[in-house]
Structure formats: structure tokens, C-alpha cells
Structure 1
Amino acid sequence: MSSSVTLTINQLSQASSMLVLVLSLTSVTLGGIGLIFNILIFIRPPLRREPCVVYFFWSTCFSLILILILQPVRILAVSFGIDQTTFNLGLCKIEWFAIYVTRSASSWFIVLACIDRFFHSSANARVRRMSTLKTARISILVMTIIIFSIHIHSIIYYQTVYQPDRFGNITPSCSPEKSFYYTFLGLWNMVVYSLFPSSLMLLFGLLTLKNIRQQRFIIPAAIDHNQTIRRTDAQLLRMLLAQVIFIIIFTLPLSILQLYSSFTGNFSKTALQLAQESFAFRTASALTYFAHSSTFYMYTVTGTIFRTELFKIVRRCGRTIRNIVSTNRGEIY
């Protein structure tokens, strides 16, 4: 291996480590703060009665586990080389099972939220009655069981695999063996985690928009209550569509790379090609977390009702801080 190739590989490795570290720390810091605000806002009285918000709340809970617990573990493994899963097969299986479950649950609860909006906006009274808190709780329980069940394959097939790193050295890693399952996993992530839920979100989002437009001709626009309902529905729809776009942008690249890797797994590759693929994989993997850590900022930009409740929380915190400061000053004097 020439010195120039070795230098390029080292530069790619350093750039990859720095980029992944910056992206991951940004996701954990800003995402953690935002997701905590999400929970505080979704339990506010004006919102917690909405079945749609119940889905938002549980999606946020799973995202919080992913961003504040599982992503820091991956930061230690990818950026600092501290990875216990390479030496403990049980941890290897549990960690990746948890990552797949939390990511999928977070996305699929948003799908259920879109379906709820479709039910809620229907002109058919029987369909509208399907949008209830009871339905939301049952749907969340059933979907959680399904998601846990369909990801059992990761516990079965993830192994401690010995494969060449970017320098060509044989090292252990926690990953699926490059066999039929590797190809299956790329297709699985693309369909179950990226394309399929996003497509359903878009479908029911458009159907909801159609229902809302039809309601304008059925319900007189002069009724204030109906105007409030339509505004709320439109805001929730914008919040959902924004998240759909972000899920596609941040999750599709990794699925494409996994498919590429599975189809080229039997090809002979140089150390430089392996380093380039490693750079792409590590960057794409870090980007997927932003589909879950950016929800607070998307909701703030697209939802007026969300911003209203956020400002109420901020003002209340401001008053509490001022009262504490005033009390402390009084005690000093």
C-alpha cells in the first residue's frame, strides 16, 4: 500500500470520526432538550385530550430512549472505540434490538397519528367515532407488541463477526453476517423503517387534507368552533408532513448504502474502498438519529398550537425563576 493511499485512509478515518462525533453530539444535546420539551407540551391540558397527541407523546418517549440512552452508547463505540458489544454477544443482540425497536416504534406511532387525523376529519360520523383516546391507547399497545415481535430476527442473526477494518486488519464487530440476512436487513430497513411508514404518512396526510377541504363545503365557515377545529387539524397535518419529509431525508441514505453493501459483499475491495464505504456508512448512520431528535424544532416551526403551549411553559418557568430569585434576595437582606 502506497504512502499516499495510507495518508488518504487516515484522513478519511479522522474526518469520519470528527464528523460523526459532531453530528451525534448535536443530535443528543439539541434532541434531548427538544424531546423533553415535547413531553412537557404534549401533557398540557389543551393537547392531551387529543388522540393524535397521544401518538405524538409515545413516539417522543421512544425517541427519547433512542437519543439519550442508545445514541450515547453508539457515540462511545464509533468515536472512542469503547464498544462492549464486540466482547459480549448478549449485549450485542440487545443493543441492536433496542435500536431497531425504538426507531420503528417512533415512526409507526406517527403513522397512527396520521390515520387518526384522517378518521377525525372524516365527514362520516361513524368513521369520526374511531378517533378516540380509547382507540389510541389500544392501537399503541397493539403496535408496540407487533414491533417487538417483528424485530426478533435481530436477536437471532446479530453476531460477533470478524471482518477487515479500513486498514485491512481483522477485527471483531457486532453486526449481521454478510449472507442472505445482510441483504434482507437492507431491504427490511428501507421498507419497514423508511419507505413504508413514510408512504403511509403521506397517504393519510393527503386524505386528511382532502377531508378538510370537503368540510369547508359541508360546515359553514362562519362558525367559530368549526374554524378552530379546522385550524387545529391543519396545524397537526403540517407537523406530520414535516416529520415525514425529515424521516425520508435522514433514513433513506443508510438503507441505500446497506443494499449496496449487501450486493457488493462478495466483491474484492481495496483498503481505500473499504475506508470510503466506512465513511459513508458512519455518516449515514449518524444522520438517521436526526429523524427522531429534530421533532421539537419541526413542531415549533409548523404548529401554532404547539408554539402557544411552549410559550406558556417558558413564561411559567420565567415566573418561577423570578420568584426564586426574589425569595433568595429577601432572605439575604
Structure 2
Amino acid sequence: MVKSSYNESLIELLDTITIQLDRYAANFIFLFGVVGNVLNIFVLSQRTFRSNSCAWIFLASSFVNLISIVSGLITVMIGGWTTNPANTIGWICKLRAHIVFSTRTIAPWLIVLATIDRWLLSSINAIRRRKSTLKNAQRWTAVIIILSMLLYAQMFYCYEANLTDTPLQCYDKTAVCRYLTDLSFGGIAVVAPLMLMILFGLLTIINVRETQHRVQSLTRGNSACGTSRSSIATSGRSQGKSTHRTQHSLLRMLFVQVAVLSILTVPLSLDRFYSTFSSDNGSAVNIAINSFIYNAAILLYFISNGMPFYIYTMCGGSVFHKALYDFLFMMKRKLMLTLLNSSVCCN
């Protein structure tokens, strides 16, 4: 009797916490993510970045993250106050699931593409460097989007509304569907991208070091030949410092990107793997605990969709900072001109 009462209290507590998270945490993440991605879109759309393949990939990623946040969190926020339409209306459930899972897969693979682009661009091999083009970035972005959408096409069959004894009412309706969704998401949308980010990030750092060694060797060789010795020495030192700063920035960006994505996306992947291979479908308490963990992991994942702008601001260096400053200054000037024109018209 005491145990039954304890279980009921625990279930009620977990349900209450979940509702509060949907009401308040989801609203904060929505605002945080939408503002960050909109600013990213405006900054990366400026002339400074238009012809840069890596910046274009980051721009596309910002659009994808914005779509993921808007499509995924609006129904969650509604569910915090009233009935979540995705839980009760079949076509909304299916469409939301497909968009959210597709964008969750597209976003990390675009970061992988950007990491590969940096690796190509930093290579001492001229053939590899020539592959880092805006056209190639756009082509592979289209490939990633199409494949990701096809990967989750089964959502239109598998996901169903008004389910019971599942973490969400809008969820996979059969065990086969759950295995397919959980394994494809955990392996393809989380684990594989993180491993490739680390791999190509490290290869990029190796390329930077090789370039630095070549510059230093060339500088020493020119000095030995007595060719403009002082000017070459000065140029070598400045190039060495610039290369060192670039290498340090790459290390920092790699660490921050991989660390943030790991912290925020791996919990949902682990939860999906656990639910796939766990044989404990169990009691109402286990269902409530699994549902709470799943909802919390989803919110963490949405935070990762809103983080890129803040990562670029911290680690993007003077170029991104200047572009952000120029955009804010331009908006301020336009606002001042609008107010001034309004004042003149009124007078």
C-alpha cells in the first residue's frame, strides 16, 4: 500500500515537472534558438560571406535549425497549457515527426560538410583545395537534405497520434517502427556525424601544422640565400603568428562544437538506444520515468539547434564579430532614419 502510494506520487511529480518544462523551458529555448538563428541568417547573408563555401553551409544550417525549432517546439509549448495538437491529430503528428527528425539529421551533417570543407581548404594539395567551392557546398547540401528526408519517409506510416503506454502520444505505433527510427536516428543523426567531425577536425589541424612548417622552412631557406633577409624574417614571424592564431582558433572551435553537440545530443541518442534494446516495458512508474527522460532529452536536443550563433560569436574571431557589428549598426541606422522620417512627416 505504501509502495503504491509512493509510485503514484512519483508519477504525479514527474508529470508535473514535464508540464512545467513544456510551459517555461520550451518557451525559453524557442526564444533563444529563434533569435540566434535569425541573427545567424542575417549575418551570414552579408556580402563578406556570400562567396565563402563554409559560411554558406553555416547559413543553410541556420535555416534548418530554425525550421527544427519552430516545427518542434510550437506544439510542445501549446501542450504545456492545453492539448497538444500533435498528440491528437494524425496528420500533424506525422508531418511534425518527419520535419523534426529530418532537420535533426540535416543539421549535424551540414556541420560535418563544413568540417570537410575546412579540411579541403587547408590542404597543401592544390587538387583538394580546388574542391572547396561554393558550387560543391551547395550540391552536397542538396544531397544531404534529400537523403535525410528519404531516411524518415516511414514516419508517415509509423507515427500515429493518441497512443498510450508510450513516451509520447504521438509516437511510433509498432515495435519494428521504433527499432527503425531509434537506430537510424542514434546511429546516423548523432554518432556518425560526431565521429566524422572529430576525424576531419583533427585532419584540418594536421594540415594547418604542415602549412606552418612549410612556411617556416621557406623563410629559413630564403634567409640563407640572403634575399631581403630582414623583411622576410619579419614576414615569416607575422605569418607564423597568424598561422598559430588560426590553428588555435580551429582547435577552440572544434572543441566547442564537438563538446556542445556531444553534451546536448548524445543523451537523446542513448535514450533511444536504451528504449530499443531494453526488455523492461514495465510498470506505470517505468513508463513515467522513461517519458520524463525522453522529454528532457528532446529539450536538450533543441538547445543544440539554437547554439550555433552563440558558438560562432564566442569562437568565430574578428571576421564574424565585425559582420555582426556591421549588421547591428546597419539596423540601428535604418531604425533611426525610419523614426526621423516619421517625425518629419508628422510635423
Superimposed CA distance per residue, residues 180-213 of structure 1 (whole angstroms, 9 cap, x where no aligned partner) = 3323432222211111101101111111011011
Whether contact under 8 Å (2:212, 2:243) holds in the other structure is no
Letter in 1 for 2:101: Y
Q: Which residue, out of 263, 268, 279, partners 2:282?
A: 268
Residue 134 (structure 2) pairs with residue 153 (structure 1): no
How many angstroms does 1:232 deviate by? Answer: 6.2
Whether contact under 8 Å (2:71, 2:100) holds in the other structure is no
Superimposed CA distance per residue, residues 27-64 of structure 1 (whole angstroms, 9 cap, x where no aligned partner) = 11011011011011111122221111111111111111
216-225 or 34-43, larger mean C-alpha shift = 216-225
Distance 2:281 2:88 in 1: 28
Whether contact under 8 Å (2:281, 2:287) holds in the other structure is no
How many angstroms does 1:241 deviate by? Answer: 4.2
Letter in 2 for 1:46: T
Letter in 2 for 1:19: L
How many angstroms does 1:216 deviate by? Answer: 0.8
Whether contact under 8 Å (1:121, 1:208) holds in the other structure is yes
Distance 1:149 1:331 in 2: 54
Whether contact under 8 Å (2:75, 2:86) holds in the other structure is no
State the superposition RMSD in angstroms: 2.7
Whether contact under 8 Å (1:32, 1:67) holds in the other structure is yes
Q: Which residue, out of 31, 50, 53, partners 1:51?
A: 53
How many angstroms does 1:320 deviate by? Answer: 2.5
How many angstroms does 1:289 deviate by? Answer: 0.4
Distance 2:137 2:244 in 1: 21
Whether contact under 8 Å (1:205, 1:241) holds in the other structure is no
Please name the residue that 2:123 is paired with: 122
Matched position secondary structure for 2:124? coil
Matched position secondary structure for 2:170? strand
Letter in 2 for 1:294: M
> How many residue pairs were aligned?
326
Matched position secondary structure for 2:263? helix
Superimposed CA distance per residue, residues 130-185 of structure 1 (whole angstroms, 9 cap, x where no aligned partner) = 0011111111122222112222232332234632379xxxxx92211352332343
Letter in 2 for 1:314: L
Whether contact under 8 Å (2:88, 2:162) holds in the other structure is no
Query: 1:86/1:17 Cα in 2 relative to 1: closer, same or farther (>3 Å)?
Result: closer
Matched position secondary structure for 1:100? helix
Please name the residue that 2:185 is paired with: 189
Superimposed CA distance per residue, residues 79-133 of structure 1 (whole angstroms, 9 cap, x where no aligned partner) = 2352334444333222111111111111111110000000000000011000011
Distance 2:251 2:148 in 1: 25
Whether contact under 8 Å (1:37, 1:296) holds in the other structure is yes
Q: Which residue, out of 280, 290, 293, partners 2:306?
A: 293
Query: 1:253/1:152 Cα in 2 relative to 1: closer, same or farther (>3 Å)?
Result: same
Distance 2:108 2:190 in 1: 9
Instruction: Give me the TM-score of the superposition, normalised by structure 1.
Output: 0.87
Runs of 5+ in structure 1 lacking a partner? 167-171
Instruction: Give me the TM-score of the superposition, normalised by structure 2.
Output: 0.84
Residue 101 (structure 2) pairs with residue 100 (structure 1): yes
How many angstroms does 1:18 deviate by? Answer: 0.9
Please name the residue that 1:135 is paired with: 136
Residue 326 (structure 2) pairs with residue 312 (structure 1): yes
233-242 or 211-220, larger mean C-alpha shift = 233-242
Whether contact under 8 Å (2:22, 2:76) holds in the other structure is no
Q: Which residue, out of 288, 293, 297, partners 1:280?
A: 293
Letter in 1 for 2:15: S
Distance 1:237 1:136 in 2: 23
116-125 or 285-294, larger mean C-alpha shift = 285-294
